[in-house]
Amino acid sequence: MEEAMARLEELIATARRAEEAVAEWSARRFTGRADEGRIEATTDALGVLLDLRIHPLSRARLDARRLADEITAAIVRAERAAEAARDELMPDR
């Protein structure tokens, strides 16, 4: 019975650690940059866009299509950073 209780306590402790790790990961913000760092996208852990900053120089020198491509690149980089962090947290996924 003592061995079973010890196993149960270890399982509970492991579950708490996992829950804390997930909570920490989900609260993180992830940033991706493009156009030499002049475009910066920030997402949450799920990849939801939270902030987008575009330097005036990027707006001035890039045409609309290239600006859209660079914005998309920054967002994708932020999303990939979030995915990489999730994969670190849950490698067996």
Q: What is the pLDDT of residues 27-62, one digit of tens each?
A: 889 999 999 999 999 999 888 999 999 999 999 999
What span, in angstroms and rounded, lies between the C-alpha atoms of 79 and 43?
A: 7
Domain boundaries, position 23: 2-89
Mean residue pLDDT of the chain comes to 90
Q: Which residues contact 75 (CB under 8 A, 6 or more apart)?
A: 32, 41, 43, 49, 52
**pLDDT surpassing 60 at residue 93:** no
What's the pLDDT band for 2 if we cut at 50, 70, 90? confident
pTM for this one? 0.76
CATH assignment of the domain containing 69: 3.30.1310.10
Contact residues for 26 (Cβ-Cβ < 8 A; gap 6+): 44, 45, 46
Contact 41, 78 (CB under 8 A): yes
As a whole number of angstroms, the distance between CA 18 and CA 21 comes to 5
**Pair type for strands 39-44 and 29-34:** antiparallel
If one counts the domains in the chain, the total is 1
Give the CA distances from residue 37 to residues 22, 43, 66, 82, in Å, rounded to whole numbers and listed in that order.
29, 16, 15, 18
